[in-house]
Amino acid sequence: MRSEIIAIAAAIAIAASTIAPAIGQGITARSAMESIARQPDAAKDIRSTLIVALALMEALTIYGLLIAFMLVSKI
């Protein structure tokens, strides 16, 4: 019984840590494209800020993967 609960917790950790940053990355990319379309001169600054923001969001996914690995190692 305990191993099933741990497996479900690992699956939820992966799902939550993948879905939320994916939605955030989509919204961020859309906003960056709109900003570049409005002000093409600021494209370089917007692009660099976008890359940093996407990297931080991707780190959330990696943390979720790490938690899932830690949970699965307890099975």
pLDDT tens, residue by residue, 17-32: 889 889 999 999 999 9
Distance of alpha carbon 40 from the chain centroid: 27
For residues 13 and 68, the answer to whether their CB atoms sit within 8 Å is yes
Q: What is the distance between the alpha carbons of residues 38 and 51, in angstroms, rounded to a whole number?
A: 19
Cα distances (Å, whole numbers) of residue 37 to 22, 61, 64: 23, 29, 34
- Average pLDDT over all residues of the chain: 90
Packed helices 2-38 and 43-72: angle between N→C axes, nearest 10 degrees: 180
Predicted model pTM: 0.76
Question: What domains, with CATH codes, occur in the chain?
Answer: 2-72 (1.20.20.10)
